[in-house]
Amino acid sequence: MVVYTSGGSSVHYGFETTFNSPVAVSKTFGLNTSVNSLSVGTNRFDLNQLGQVEPTAFAYGQQSGTIDVGFTWDDVNSHDIFRSIYGSSTASSNVYSYPNGSSVPAEGGTSPAVNNSMTVQVDQQLTGAHTYASQTSNTTATTIRRKLMGCVATGLSISTSIGSTVDGTCSMVFGKEDTTNTTQDSSSSMAFKDQVAITGTPLTFAHGTFKVSNGSSLINLGEIQSANINFNANQNLLYQLGSHHSVDAYRQVFEITGSFQTSFKDLTHLTHLLNQASNEVNSKGISNKSGNTMVDASNVGAELQFTNGSKHIQVELQGVSFGSHDISGLVPVQPVFEELPFKALAARVEAKVA
Tell me if residue 128 falls in helix, strand or coil.
Answer: coil
Q: What is the DSSP letter of 297?
A: -
- What integer pLDDT is reported at residue 290 of this predicted model? 45
E runs forming strands in 214-332: 218-221, 224-232, 235-238, 248-251, 255-263, 289-290, 293-294, 302-308, 311-318, 321-322, 326-328
Nearest partner of 324 among 275, 288, 273, judged by Cα: 273
Q: With 50 as the cut, is the pLDDT of residue 228 above it?
A: yes
The dihedrals phi and psi of 207, each to the nearest 5 degrees, come to -90, -5
Nearest partner of 173 among 155, 157, 153, 156, judged by Cα: 153
**Region 288-312 average pLDDT:** 66
Percent residues over pLDDT 90 in the chain: 41
- What integer pLDDT is reported at residue 166 of this predicted model? 95
Higher per-residue confidence, 268 vs 170:
170
pLDDT band of 152, cuts 50, 70, 90? very high
**Region 4-23 average pLDDT:** 84
pLDDT band of 274, cuts 50, 70, 90? confident
Q: Which residues contact 257 (CB under 8 A, 6 or more apart)?
A: 229, 230, 232, 341, 342, 343, 344
Q: What pTM, to 2 d.p., does this model score?
A: 0.85
Mean pLDDT (the chain, rounded)? 82
First to last CA, the chain: 49
Alpha carbon distance 61, 245 (integer Å)? 9
pLDDT band of 194, cuts 50, 70, 90? low
Alpha carbon distance 198, 156 (integer Å)? 20
- What integer pLDDT is reported at residue 292 of this predicted model? 41
Higher per-residue confidence, 120 vs 212:
120
Strand partners, 237: 249
> Could you tell me the residue ranges of all domains in the chain?
8-45+60-352
- What integer pLDDT is reported at residue 103 of this predicted model? 73
- What integer pLDDT is reported at residue 181 of this predicted model? 66
Tell me if residue 84 falls in helix, strand or coil.
Answer: helix
- What integer pLDDT is reported at residue 195 of this predicted model? 66
- What integer pLDDT is reported at residue 341 of this predicted model? 93
List Cα–Cα distances, 12 to 195, 230, 248, 354, in angstroms: 8, 22, 22, 23
